[in-house]
Structures are given as structure tokens and as C-alpha cells.
Amino acid sequence: MSSLLVISAHAGDFVWRAAGAIALATARGDRAKVVCLTYGERGESAKAWREGKNLAEIKEIRRAEATNAADALGAEIEFLDAGDYPLQESQELVDRLVRVYREVDPGVVLTHPLTDPYNQDHPAAARMALQARVLAQAIGYDAPGEPLGAPPVFFFEPHQPEQCDFKPDVLLDITSVFDTKRTAMESLPAQQHMWEYYIDLAKRRGVQLKRNAGPNLGLPHNTVGEAYMRLYPQVTEVLK
């Protein structure tokens, strides 16, 4: 059994962008853990603010929604409540992530890409996720547990990929778990306008997936996908 660790700036990011990968992992029997650095309470809860909710209420709503989504995906979820808009980088927060890495011992890590001119919280989360990964590898770093290996890191797709210098390295076939991803998305009713957008995106990535796989693989018409970038080179014994 392997583990998947997802480090997300706000409560909803892991759903839109990585729910397929998470559902595939749990469907295989792997452990999946999502860490939300913040609830997205200020930056991604416009509807609730317009309805007059206060900060504590909004955090609670977001927490409940994200927990439901994680449940739908069969994933654990932890909220660090670090405060968003802005998510401020700190050594304390990085240290908390080091401890998560040591505890989870992930085989794969997912996080945001390092460039996003629309949302500085996303690269901030990614920088901390990457620094914590390297620190967790050092036997000299003072935290419980064994030194980490070198799990590959994949960046999930941002909202406007081209503007974030996001060029897909990997097209992940999520057809077999797409119903689960839909259910997870529907756990976030406040952002209903995102459902259609990310269903369309999954189809679009599915079309490209089929094109890059070639007709000979016989992928079905309704193939859907998620796109990722690799930070480190792939290590393998087979080119394919």
C-alpha cells in the first residue's frame, strides 16, 4: 500500500484539480491524505460573504464542505487554518508540513504549480510543500519519524493554465472514477459554477488524452482526464 499526499492552499482546490487522482488512489487501496493550509475563507468564499456570513461561519461551512468532498473520495483531510488572502509563508507552517510528510511517508505528492498571477496563495502553498519535502528528507532535521524518500511531485492544473506556464506532462485517465469526482464536486454547492467548468475541462483533457494515446489503445468515447506537470524527472525501467 502506497500513500498519496495532497497539499492544497484552500479548501476546494484539491477537489476541482485532483479529485480524480485521489479517487484512483483510494480505489487502488492506497491511503490518500489531503492537507488544506487554509479554508479559503477570504479569497474563495465570495458567495458566503455576500450573504452576510461572518468569518467563523464561513470557515465552518468550508470545513464541512471540504470534509464531505474528502469523504466522497475516501481520503483523510486535515486543516491547518493558516489564514488565506494572503497565505503567509512561515517556518512554523513548513515545520507542520514536515511532520505530515514524516507521518504519511507519501509515495506521491500533489500540489499547486509555482506560478499563478491570479492567486499568490497557490505558489506560496507550493513553495512550502516543496521546502517541507526536502527538509523531511534530512536525517538532521529535528522532527519525529524516519527521513523521507524522494517522492515524485506533480503539479495539478490551475484555473488558467497557460497564464501559469502550465504545460501538461501527464494526462491521467480518470474515466473509471469520474462519478466519484462529480460527487466530490457536488459537495461544494457554493461554487456550483465550477462544476460545469471542471466537467468540461475533464472532457477536454480526455480528448487530448485519447489523441496522445493514439486510436490503437481503444479508449472509449467518454474518456475524461486530469492534467499534471512533473517537477522531477520520472524514474522508470520502461519507456512508454
- Strands 76-79, 31-36: parallel, antiparallel or unpaired by DSSP? parallel
Our CB check for a copy of itself shows the closer of 10 and 68 to be 10
- Asked if 204 interacts with a copy of itself (CB under 8 A), we say yes
What minimum distance in Å lies between the beta carbon of 108 and a copy of itself?
5
Tell which one of 67, 76, 170, 183 touches a copy of itself (CB under 8 A).
170
8 A C-beta contact, residue 148 and residue 195:
no
Q: Does 80 bind a copy of itself (CB under 8 A)?
A: no
Print the binding letters for residues 103-122 with a copy of itself: x by CB under 8 A, - otherwise: ----xx-x------xxxx--
Q: How many CA atoms lie within 13 A of 235 on its CB side?
A: 7
3-class DSSP state of 130: helix
Residue recorded with cell 471542471 = 198
Measured from the CB atom, is 145 or 149 closer to a copy of itself?
Answer: 149
Among 29, 56, 144, 216, binds a copy of itself (CB under 8 A): 216
**All 3 cell numbers of residue 22?**
485521489
Closer Cβ to a copy of itself, 179 or 200, answer by number: 200
Examine residue 91 and tell whether it contacts a copy of itself (CB under 8 A): yes
Pairing state between β 225-230 and 108-111: unpaired
Residues in the chain, total: 240
**d(C-alpha 48, C-alpha 61), whole Å:** 9
C-beta closer to a copy of itself: residue 72 or 168: 168
CB of residue 64 to a copy of itself, shortest distance in Å: 18
Residue 67 as a binder of a copy of itself (CB under 8 A): the answer is: no
- Is position 26 an interface residue for a copy of itself (rule: CB under 8 A)? no
* Span of 9-17, 64-72, 161-169, 183-191 interacting with a copy of itself by CB under 8 A: 161-169
Sequence-separated (6 or more) residues with CB below 8 Å from residue 233: none
Distance CA 95, CA 132 (A): 7
Per CB under 8 A, which of residues 130..159 are in contact with a copy of itself? 130-131, 134-135, 138-142, 147-152, 154, 159
For 138, phi and psi rounded to 5 degrees?
-90, 125
Q: Check whether the bond before 215 is cis (ω within 30° of 0).
A: no
In this chain, which of 29, 50, 144, 222 binds a copy of itself, going by CB under 8 A?
A: 50
